[in-house]
Amino acid sequence: MDKIIQLKEMVRGMGKVLIAYSGGVDSTFLLKVASDTLGKNVLAVIAKSPTYPESEVRFAKEMCQGLGARYLVIETDEFLDENFISNPRERCYFCKKELFSKLLAIAKAENIPYVLDGSNFDDKSDFRPGSKAKEELGVRSPLMELGFTKEDIRKFSRDLGLRTSDKPSYACLASRIPYGTKITPEILGRIEKGEEFLRELGFNQLRVRHHGAIVRIEVDQESIPHLIDDELREQVAKKFEELGYTYVTFDLKGYRTGSMNL
């Protein structure tokens, strides 16, 4: 049976759903299929916090409006939890527990029986402590349950004409900070400004990794020659020095997910 048909049948059987919505490839695909299936019985909730760039929040709102989906923007309070701020290896667990607890409260108030997220099958192979919070609180991941890979989701998104089909992978800004380094809004702000600057220069898939006085910039392999062009290299170095970094470095291995887990 076609995976999309299976997904529609699963969602239809749930009746009403709340979707943790980020504006990314996975959650947009899930929102599109759920909205086409359940209409106004779908509520997308967008979380706003210092760990998530304002530009991404705006994009998520625009996508909901474009899809005609009912949505809500909330603020999360992970910065009230020292377990999150201290940045242990399980950081993602405390962040997701805060988010999902808020989503479950909203779902209860709205009489919505299911809270869903956009995790896909490929996520099983990555280090994701947030999955524990999801399991503890009963949040469902239909794309993971039905075996949708990232490649599947991008293909089906193209077929559905979604703007996100080729959108670069994204993760919260806290994932740019090494475990054990305290997370502060000031550091997150520097990372956000640095990544916005690189996107304005035309780089697409990238990460700005914070290592104290050192910044480690990752771009996809194809973009490395452009990044180390003499004129552009000086421009990038100057910008990151203005952001407070003493040493500006480029990672010769290029962009890769989970490099902070090494």
Same domain as 182, residue 101: no
> End of a domain among 109, 140, 166?
166
Based on the fold, state whether residues 113 and 67 are members of the same structural domain: yes
- 225 shares a domain with 105: no
Determine which helix (DSSP H) or strand (DSSP E) holds 100, and give its type and residue range: helix 91-109
User: Based on the domain organization, do 41 and 155 belong to the same domain?
Assistant: yes
The pLDDT assigned to 260 comes to: 63
**pLDDT (0 to 100) of residue 125:** 72
3-class secondary structure, 52: coil
Q: What are the pLDDT tens digits along the chain (262 aa)?
A: 589 999 999 999 999 999 999 999 999 999 999 999 999 999 999 999 999 999 999 999 999 999 999 999 999 999 999 999 999 999 999 999 999 999 999 999 999 999 999 999 988 876 677 889 999 999 999 999 999 999 999 999 999 999 999 999 888 999 999 999 999 999 999 999 999 999 999 999 999 999 999 999 999 999 999 888 888 999 999 999 999 999 999 999 999 876 666 6
Do 223 and 157 have their domain in common? Answer: no
The number of distinct structural domains making up the chain is: 2
136 lies in the same domain as 55: yes
CATH of the domain at 211: 3.30.70
My answer on whether 31 and 108 are in the same domain is yes
Asked if 71 and 64 touch (Cβ cutoff 8 Å), the reply is: yes
CATH of the domain at 128: 3.40.50.620
Q: Is residue 172 annotated as part of the catalytic site, yes or no?
A: yes
Torsion of CA 112, 51, 206, 181, to 10 degrees: -130
Whether residue 85 is found in the same domain as residue 148 = yes
Q: Where is the domain boundary, 166, 183, 214?
A: 166
97 and 23 co-located in one domain: yes
**Are residues 105 and 62 located together in one domain of the fold?**
yes
Among the listed residues 53, 56, 60, 3, the one whose alpha carbon sits nearest the alpha carbon of residue 28: 60
Which residue segment(s) compose the domain that 76 sits in? Answer: 3-166
- Does 156 share its domain with 236? no
The alpha carbons of the chain give a radius of gyration, in whole angstroms, of 19
Point out the domain boundary residue: 166, 185, 215.
166
